[in-house]
Amino acid sequence: MTKKKQDKWTKASWRSFSAKQQPVWPDSNACEETLKKISQLPALVFAGESRSLGQDLAEVLEGRAFVLQAGECSEDYDRCHGPYIHNLLKVILQMSVIITYAGEKKVVKIGRIAGQYAKPRSSDTEKVGKLIIPSYRGDMVNSPDPSPEARVPDPRRMLEGYFRATATLNLVRAFTKGGYAALDQAHAWSEASVKSFPANPKYEELVRGIKKAIAFMDAIGIKNSNPDLNQVSLYTSHEALLLEYEEAMTRIDTTTGDWYDTSANMLWIGDRTRHPEGAHVEFMRGVCNPVGVKIGPSYVMDDIKKIAEKLNPDNIPGRLTMITRLGAEKINFLLPPLLREMKKEGFNIVWICDPMHGNTYINRHSQKTRKYKDILKEIINFWKIHQAEGTIAGGVHLELTGDNVTECTGGSLRVQDKDLRLNYQTNCDPRLNAEQAVELAFKLATIINPYLTRGV
Ligand code: PEP
Ligand code: CO
């Protein structure tokens, strides 16, 4: 760690700053005991893996790789089971093969997985029938059940979160390193899913192209001589919201002597907690993991500059990612000045697009939803703006699931408002289902590489 970063930082120094969105635990002794237990448990990820992610992100900065960051809005303890995790990984890997082929670049895969258990909320309370009860704040804090008792924060849930993250990560590692995620397997899934879309010659053309590329690698012996093709890397990430938990997971890396938050490879600070003088920025400035910052439409330019200076004083490429979530229309006037200013100041920033959080609304049936077409539009605009500004569109940050939920409207299968009740499962934000997600990858492929399907 460089001198600048060491200044007065400790893993607990955030405690003297104002920390937004923290639960008030009714039992402070239980909280202390739990945190002590967590701080003695093994790291979930190795510092070396987080450093590799930083190097991969530096490649994104140079335009040599894309980021696909995807997963749950909020992981539920109930959904911590094999088939559910398989389905999610399957979708992420399919999307990644499609984007790799289209972009002819490496895809850096980062899950919102194995720790995305705490949520910031816009209101402290919510109305259920006639009752006003505390808001659900993620499974690490309270339960989504709609009763006042269930919503009391229980610190022991943090320990349960640690173990659920461990179980999830164990399966993720087995799945990604054990051969199940081999390239031809991921392609076979895409081939199967293309059949579920109403005939689209562009998608079919893409899938045929990928098949040919794999056959070619086979023919010249690359596949057999390269066991790496049977393995993929999927990094983990979550919002570093619950600072007590993140502090308990923060350790010194014995190889480098640097501090790492070992709860995930990448941590991000949410739009609601990224105040430059706040506790979240203070905490994250001292750990060496790659860090993300969400930027919503109410951003103040000076704040963003201060955040960049604090989080990355040495301007290390790959250390800082900014995840814009501005909305399909607002992006047109809010992103260009931000890109210009940060470029003028010389900040090294990986820019990625979260097309979900600026496009959420409540429909006439009081359901929180998002339109597929708005999500796509924000991505298209993001790419166009980067091209016009001469900056790098680094990738996307999505909320999705491998299951057949009905939470976002639109897509080829034309999910409508009236269909949402059929399988609306989320306790938090609406997610793309597996088909909508794979379809978005096909679209993204044609945005990244418009020549790919030209003439089809
Ligand atoms: C989220 O990523 O689920 C989230 C709450 O995002 P934001 O901080 O951008 O609102
Ligand atoms: Co969300």
Give pLDDT tens digits along the chain (456 positions).
454 545 799 999 999 999 999 999 999 999 999 999 999 999 999 999 999 999 999 999 999 999 999 999 999 999 999 999 999 999 999 999 999 998 889 999 999 999 999 999 999 999 988 999 999 999 999 999 999 999 999 999 999 999 999 999 999 999 998 877 777 777 777 777 777 776 677 788 888 888 888 888 888 887 777 766 777 899 999 999 999 999 999 999 999 999 999 999 999 999 999 999 999 999 999 999 999 999 999 999 999 999 999 999 999 999 999 999 999 999 999 999 999 999 999 999 999 999 999 999 999 999 999 999 999 999 999 999 999 999 999 999 999 999 999 999 999 889 999 999 999 999 999 999 999 999 999 999 999 987 776 544
At 208, is the secondary structure helix, strand, or coil?
Answer: helix
Joined tokens for residue 33: 């005991």
- How far does residue 349's CA lie from ligand 2's centre (Å)? 22
| Ligand 1: centre distance to CA 180 (Å) | 31
Amino acid at 250: T
Q: Whose CA is nearest to atom 10 of ligand 1?
A: 271
Could you tell me which residues are beta bridge partners of residue 432?
400
pLDDT value at residue 455: 45
Name the one residue in this structure whose structure tokens are 């002819």. 104
Q: Are the beta carbons of 293 and 311 closer than 8 angstroms?
A: yes
Measured from the Cα of 325, ligand 1's closest atom is 9
Instruction: Give the C-alpha separation, 95 to 101, whole Å.
Output: 10
Residue-level pLDDT at 3? 46
With beta carbons less than 8 A apart as the criterion, state whether 351 and 325 touch. Answer: no
Q: Which residues contact 452 (CB under 8 A, 6 or more apart)?
A: 102, 205, 206, 209, 445, 446
Domain membership of residue 3 (yes or no) is: no
Return the CA Rg of the chain. Answer: 21
Minimal-distance CA residue to ligand 1 atom 8: 270
For residue 252, being part of any structural domain is answered with yes
Q: How far, in Å, from the CA of 120 to the mean position of ligand 1?
A: 8
Q: What six digits make up the tokens of 19?
A: 């920390």
Residue-by-residue DSSP string for 419-431: GGGGG---SSS--
Residue whose CA lies nearest to ligand 1 atom number 3: 73
Whether ligand 1 lies within 6 angstroms of the CB of 134 is answered as no
Ligand approaching nearest to the C-alpha of 323: 1
Of 271, 268, 358, which is closest to residue 321 (Cα–Cα)? 268
How high is the pLDDT of residue 215?
84
Report pLDDT for 191: 75
The 10 Å CB-count burial string (b at 16+, else e) for 385-405 is bbeebebbbbbbbbbbbbbeb
322 lines ligand 1 (CB under 6 A): no
Query: Which of 354, 370, 397 has most ligand 1 atoms within 8 Å of CB, for mutation?
Result: 354
Give the pLDDT confidence score for residue 242 in this predicted structure. 98
Does ligand 1 come within 6 angstroms of the Cβ of 271?
Answer: yes
Structure tokens at 433: 């289902």
Q: Which of 15, 86, 6, 7 is nearest to 246 (CA)?
A: 15
**Exposed e or buried b per residue across 86-110, where buried means at least 16 C-beta atoms within 10 angstroms of its C-beta:** eebbbbbbbbbbbbbbbbebbbbbb
Q: Is 73 in the pocket of ligand 1 (CB under 6 A)?
A: yes
Residue 1 in any domain: the answer is no
Binning the chain into helix, strand and coil, the percentages to the nearest 5 are 45, 15, 40
Query: Half-sphere exposure of 57 toward its Cβ, with a 13 Å CA cutoff?
Result: 28
Kindly state the tokens that stand for 243: 């600072």
| Domain-located, residue 164 | yes
Instruction: Give me the number of domains the chain comprises.
Output: 1
Residue 362: exposure state from Cβ atoms within 10 A (0-12, 13-18, ≥19): exposed
Relative to the CA of 273, which ligand 1 atom is closest? Answer: 8
CATH number at residue 309: 3.20.20.70
- Compute the distance between CA of residue 93 and CA of residue 67 in angstroms, rounded to an integer: 12
Q: Which residue is listed with tokens 């998608």?
A: 203
Range of the domain at 270: 13-453
157 located within any domain:
yes
The atom number, within ligand 1, closest to the CA of 397 reads 2
Whether residue 7 lies inside any domain: the answer is no
Q: Strand 125-128 relative to strand 131-134: parallel, antiparallel, unpaired?
A: antiparallel
